[in-house]
Structure 1
């Protein structure tokens, strides 16, 4: 699989920075830099970045949106497909990305939406930390699930009720069928 990706990267006219831990795959092109670690957020913030190829994890998508970099996604786990599908629907994520400026424009529009906040994130975090301290833990903000019994939290009571109801219906229908057959 890695050699197939390396061969595909080698065909691109753009320079590629590939973050990967492992042996260099066969067919790695001269346009591809192979690194095992890098400050990804700094790289996405570079003005010459044309595109970001990602698995579509939430943090990676948020970083790409923040910097306005379009994404080509290869989802691996459950939430990643949904994250990438949302970007695709907004016209910000797919081979024509480097050559089609509309993807960059759409992602930059999403970036402006993402950054347009009345309060900076650090100030917001400080407010909520101080809020919790002022209100001695802010118990009124805790979810009701913290006070639930374990069997209610995991819906054991609901499942047992359905099982009991199913057994009761089977018994009543079975008895009715047996008595109905005897009368004939």
Structure 2
């Protein structure tokens, strides 16, 4: 019933910014609602044929898919600006090093413990092909920190050390 209706994302973003990650996964119905909103400034709730909802919000989207795919071509025609951010494998070693350092620092702060990484583990992180990009790098570092933390706790070490054996296979 009407008392159980939830406010949609576009309505919640009224006056602000709506970030849609993995835009290529948007359902056909969701695409239709979004394209109508972008083209006309209003939308209808799914299944509603009468009521127009007008909102003002900026939309930012992200995708890991090829921008030349059908959906993204259709979407790109409606978008005033597209920024291509290189995937991890196309980044410089300095950028990769910065990201590794940043993610380890984040884990160190979260655990409130010093975390170090040995040379071989660092080289592996710098050189490995990370198919799911920066998000996977972050997850792999978190997993490595967790494994190293178990070593730290079980062996009563003075600090957490990420070794080659702590890296995901």
TM category, shorter: under 0.3
Q: Would you tell me which structure has more helix in proportion to its own residues?
A: 1
> Could you state the TM-score of these two structures normalised by the residue count of structure 2?
0.26
The structure with the larger Rg is: 1
Higher RCO, Cα 8 Å, sep 6+: 2
